[in-house]
Amino acid sequence: PRKEHRNLSLEDHVLDRLPACVNKVLSHSGESQLSIIGYCVGGLLAVLWAAIDAAMRGRAGPGPLKNLVCMATPVNSDGLESLKTWMGPEFDEEALLAEHDNVPAEWVQNALRALRPFGKVAGAANLLNQADQEAIVRSNLRMGKWETDNIPFPGGVFRQMVNDFLRDNCLINGHWKIGDHSADLAAIRVPMLHLLAQDDHITPYASSRDLVQRVSSSDREEVMIKGGHVGLVAGRGAQMRMWPALEAWLAERS
């Protein structure tokens, strides 16, 4: 996002851009439905769209969403204790956005690192002990590059996430309005899979466990996988554990 994107909102993403992407994929593929996979905040955006789209359609027939897969997706901000404390009433998001337009990428990176302040040091020490193993060093460098490849966070979305999600916990409290639409998890009825990381310090289980419990899908599953937030989707562990589980789940429903 650049300066001209500073006012992009959840409405822009959930009601405009994401549906446009869905329609483009369906048009290109010739299919009538698709499966959506969302990771972390991307999962939250997918959930918001799925809930609103389902509510708008009611029971008027199947919509474009066939399956919904979320990975490490937070829905209950009460489980994000550190972020909720940092961005409480005394945090001035307007001053930050007035100075930077969007949240700088380094701010995003530093906030994530602060959730586990000694993680980087411990990782470096562990790598030093394996410095003679070239494959491990190369893998670590690739993972480190991926972890730090952040982009700015759109200012308008950040404002809404701080107020509506973190402070007011609107999704769990049942009054999150996106434009003129209410996002209600109970409106979601499609098959749903939520993949979680056992040692996730960014999306703790207390923030993610409500998702599967609150949707109305008769086919819903939560799978806890060994590893952390990043290791859930990237690296050797993800290749051995998460991606095969996801492939098998989708194969049965596609």
Structural domains in the chain, sorted by start:
3-104+152-251 (3.40.50.1820)
Q: What is the mean pLDDT of the chain?
A: 92
| 3-class secondary structure, 72 | coil
Rounded to whole angstroms, how far apart are CA atoms 233 and 190?
A: 23
| 3-class secondary structure, 68 | strand
Q: Which of 234, 226, 39 is nearest to 143 (CA)?
A: 234
| 3-class secondary structure, 48 | helix
| 3-class secondary structure, 197 | strand
Which residues does 119 contact at the CB level (< 8 Å), separation at least 6?
Answer: 113, 201
* More confident site: 23 or 1: 23
54: how many CB neighbours lie within 10 A of its CB?
A: 21
Sheet containing strand 192-197, edge to edge, reads 34-39, 65-71, 192-197, 220-225
Cβ proximity of 74 and 140 under 8 Å:
no
Q: Mind listing the pLDDT tens digit for each residue in 52-86?
A: 999 998 866 689 999 999 999 999 999 999 999 99
Beta-carbon-side half-sphere exposure of residue 102 (alpha carbons within 13 Å)? 19
Q: Mind listing the pLDDT tens digit for each residue in 182-218?
A: 999 999 999 999 999 999 999 999 999 999 999 999 9
- The position carrying tokens 């999600």 is 165
Which residues does 223 contact at the CB level (< 8 Å), separation at least 6?
Answer: 193, 194, 195, 196, 245
Sign of the alpha-carbon dihedral angle for 32, 36, 42, 45 = positive
Rounded to whole angstroms, how far apart are CA atoms 154 and 101?
A: 8
- The position carrying tokens 């530093």 is 110
Q: Mind listing the pLDDT tens digit for each residue in 83-137?
A: 999 999 999 999 999 999 999 999 988 888 888 775 666 667 777 778 888 887 7
Q: Note the residue count of the chain.
A: 254
